[in-house]
Amino acid sequence: MYFTDAGIEELDDRRGDEQVSMSWLAERLRDFVDQNPEFETAVDRLASWLARLDSDGDADSDEESKPSD
C-alpha cells in the first residue's frame, strides 16, 4: 500500500459496504472542490476517468483500468 492510499483504505473501511448513486458522488465531488479549489483539476480528472471507465471507445485500454487479481 502506498502512503497516499491511507484515505482510500479509510473510505473502504468506514463505508465500503455502502452503495451510492453516481449523482450523489458527483455532488460530493462538487462540494469538495468548492471547499478545496486547489484540487479542481485532480477531481475533474478522477470524475472523467470514472465516467469513461466502461466506455468502449475510450482511448485507454480497459485492461489498464481494471485491477489485477
> Looking at residue 33, what is its pLDDT?
97
Cβ-based neighbours of 49, under 8 Å, separated by 6 or more: 65
Rounded CA-CA distance 56/60 in Å is 10
58 has pLDDT over 80: no
32 has pLDDT over 60: yes
Rounded CA-CA distance 19/64 in Å is 25
